[in-house]
């Protein structure tokens, strides 16, 4: 169930050593001079492809060490990375308390998120070999920023599954809202194709909203490459009974945005993500779904009509 996504992908030179990933309709090429520089982890392997062109071109290399980037960051994630803004590029520095104050990895990417240089500190990372240059959250940052900067998609916190009869179903929720539970409830009686139990990419194909599986799974560890059209979006809420309530569009946009992964470091990117969600909810309605965690929740969805 693949959809052709038009892009201005750059053709890779034939001699380049690279691994191509296809995530959310975006081709990402990880290029390097050695097998170590293009190594991908197990979670990404199902998303490997053989594309000879790339929407995002990442050139990876191991360097002796990385110095702390001068100046104040534009945004600090409060976790592993902070980003510095320059005229034509962003610099993401990855720092872990466990490895000291110097970056163990640096991603310099153009403002369109189409070309990136990834430098990895040999000094800090050698004891932890094998190293996967794109390991979380580098891969996810590249894809989500690429989508937001072009206003062509957004990643959301949700589980997405394709039921053989009912089609694509998307349930959004914060942690603890019941995404993994919902996935498990559907799994046995319906045996759906589960794209992800935690992270889904939304894109528009004309006026049709589609959801895409991602490698970044949740507790239940479902992560499949594939996509499906959507007729509606559900916002999960635990309840004492099953109830589906249509949300006003403005509230729906807010609820989806609150469960998305927008680029907080960029005003343009934030606006792009919000604008995309607004268009997505022109295509499909958004409902609050209060549910009880048993098979009656499935029946409620299957019997529901907009």
Among 85, 96, 123, 300, binds another protein (CB under 8 A): 96
Q: Does residue 254 interact with another protein by CB under 8 A?
A: yes
CA–CA distance, 196 with 219 (Å, rounded to integer)? 10
How far is Cα of residue 151 from the mean position of the Cα atoms in its chain?
14
Among 46, 49, 137, 226, binds another protein (CB under 8 A): 137
**Residues 214-253: x where in contact with another protein by CB under 8 A, - otherwise, as a string:** --xxxx-------------------------------x--
Question: 222: which 2 tokens?
Answer: 């479902």
User: Of 42, 1, 50, 41, which is closest to residue 21 (Cα–Cα)?
Assistant: 50
Beta bridge partners of 25: none
Beta bridge partners of 289: 236, 244
Q: Shortest Cβ distance from residue 11 to another protein (Å)?
A: 29
Question: 290: which 2 tokens?
Answer: 């209060």
For the chain, how far is it from start to end, CA to CA, in angstroms? 24
Nearer to another protein, 136 or 304 (CB): 136
3-state secondary structure of 107: strand
CA–CA distance, 161 with 173 (Å, rounded to integer)? 14
Kindly state the helix (H) or strand (E) to which residue 300 belongs, with its residue range: helix 295-302
Neighbour-count burial of 92, counting CB atoms closer than 10 A to its CB (0-12 exposed, 13-18 middle, 19+ buried):
buried
Q: Shortest Cβ distance from residue 217 to another protein (Å)?
A: 8
CA–CA distance, 196 with 211 (Å, rounded to integer)? 10
Among 258, 282, 294, 303, binds another protein (CB under 8 A): 258
Among 42, 50, 64, 97, binds another protein (CB under 8 A): 97
Q: Shortest Cβ distance from residue 197 to another protein (Å)?
A: 7
Among 37, 93, 224, 255, binds another protein (CB under 8 A): 255
Nearer to another protein, 55 or 198 (CB): 198
Stretch that binds another protein, among 22-30, 53-61, 173-181, 184-192 (CB under 8 A): 173-181
Stretch that binds another protein, among 62-70, 127-135, 202-210, 223-231 (CB under 8 A): 127-135
Assess contact for 220 and 199: CB atoms under 8 A: no
- The count of residues in the chain is 306
Stretch that binds another protein, among 4-12, 46-54, 202-210, 254-262 (CB under 8 A): 254-262
Indicate the Cα dihedral angle 67, 39, 92, 77, nearest 10°.
Answer: -110
* Whole-number Cα distances in Å, 23 to 26, 27, 231: 5, 7, 22
Nearer to another protein, 89 or 251 (CB): 251
Among 150, 179, 210, 232, binds another protein (CB under 8 A): 179
Give residues 56-95 in contact with another protein (rule: CB under 8 A).
Answer: 77-81, 94
Among 131, 147, 194, 202, binds another protein (CB under 8 A): 131
Strand pairing class (89-94; 208-213): unpaired
Q: Does residue 149 interact with another protein by CB under 8 A?
A: no
Among 125, 204, 244, 292, binds another protein (CB under 8 A): 125
Which residues make up the interface to another protein (CB under 8 A)?
A: 77-81, 94, 96-99, 104-105, 124-125, 128, 131, 135-137, 140-141, 144, 157, 159, 173-177, 179-180, 197-199, 216-219, 251, 254-255, 257-258, 260-262, 264
């Amino acid at each position: 169930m693949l959809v052709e996504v038009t892009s201005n992908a750059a053709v890779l030179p034939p001699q380049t050593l690279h691994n191509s990933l296809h995530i959310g309709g975006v081709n990402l090429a990880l290029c390097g001079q050695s097998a170590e520089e293009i190594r991908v982890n197990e979670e990404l392997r199902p998303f490997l492809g053989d594309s000879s062109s790339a929407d995002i071109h990442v050139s990876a290399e191991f360097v002796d060490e990385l110095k702390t980037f001068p100046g104040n960051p534009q945004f600090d994630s409060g976790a592993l990375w902070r980003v510095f803004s320059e005229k034509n590029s962003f610099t993401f520095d990855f720092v872990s308390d466990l490895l000291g104050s110097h970056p163990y990895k640096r991603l310099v990417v153009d403002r369109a998120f189409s070309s990136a240089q990834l430098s990895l500190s040999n000094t800090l990372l050698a004891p932890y070999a094998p190293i996967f240059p794109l390991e979380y959250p580098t891969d996810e940052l590249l894809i989500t920023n690429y989508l937001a900067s072009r206003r062509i998609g957004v990643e959301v916190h949700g589980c997405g599954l394709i039921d053989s009869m009912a089609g694509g179903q998307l349930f959004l929720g914060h942690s603890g809202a019941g995404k993994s539970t919902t996935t498990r409830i559907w799994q046995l009686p319906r045996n759906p194709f589960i794209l992800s139990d935690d992270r889904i990419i939304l894109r528009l194909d004309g006026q049709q909203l589609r959801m895409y599986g991602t490698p970044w799974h949740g507790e239940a560890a479902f992560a499949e490459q594939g996509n499906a059209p959507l007729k509606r979006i559900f916002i999960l809420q635990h309840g004492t009974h099953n109830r589906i309530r249509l949300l006003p569009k403005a509230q729906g946009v807010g609820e989806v945005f609150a469960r998305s992964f927008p680029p907080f470091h960029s005003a343009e990117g934030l606006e792009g993500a919000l604008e995309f969600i607004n268009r997505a909810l022109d295509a499909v309605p958004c409902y609050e779904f209060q549910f009880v965690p048993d098979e009656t929740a499935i029946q409620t969805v299957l019997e529901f009509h907009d």
